[in-house]
């Protein structure tokens, strides 16, 4: 299992916990945003098609970040900064070495 696969597994681990928290709060918008972020991640583990990884990074991750910014949900923002940001920083390094046109994180 390569580094990128391990990062996706960590993302799923934390993401499912965050999704559970969103559901416990009965926040359907937050739950939906988490599900949208995570739904393709299992299929990216072991995936050799770099375009799929680029799509996750450039489209799905950015859509989640856009939702997060407009959500005005401090709990969701805190969870994302605490759990997703460290994974995404590591993921950015891995993906950038493989994909030239990767959108920078910041």
Per-residue pLDDT at 105: 61
pLDDT average, residue stretch 23-34: 98
Query: Tens digits of per-residue pLDDT, 45-66?
Result: 999 999 999 999 999 999 999 9
pLDDT average, residue stretch 26-32: 98
Say whether pLDDT at 3 is over 90: yes
Determine phi and psi for 61, rounding to 5 degrees. Answer: -65, -45
Structure tokens at 78: 């805190």
Per-residue pLDDT at 78: 98
Say whether pLDDT at 80 is over 80: yes
Rounded alpha-carbon distances, angstroms, from residue 45 to 42, 49, 52, 71, 104 = 6, 11, 11, 29, 22
Query: Tens digits of per-residue pLDDT, 11-28?
Result: 999 999 999 999 999 999
Provide the total of helices (H) and of strands (E) in the chain, helices listed first. Answer: 7, 0
Say whether pLDDT at 70 is over 80: yes
pLDDT average, residue stretch 65-77: 97
- Chain-centroid distance of CA 103 in Å reads 14
């Amino acid at each position: 299992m390569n580094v990128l696969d391990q990062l996706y597994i960590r993302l799923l681990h934390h993401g499912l916990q965050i999704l559970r928290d969103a559901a416990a709060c009965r926040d359907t918008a937050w739950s939906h945003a988490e599900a949208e972020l995570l739904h393709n991640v299992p299929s990216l583990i072991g995936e050799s098609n770099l375009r799929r990884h680029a799509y996750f990074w450039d489209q799905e991750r950015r859509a989640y970040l856009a939702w997060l910014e407009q959500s005005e949900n401090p709990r969701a923002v805190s969870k994302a900064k605490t759990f997703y940001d460290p994974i995404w920083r590591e993921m950015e390094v891995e993906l950038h070495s493989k994909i030239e046109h990767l959108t920078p994180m910041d």
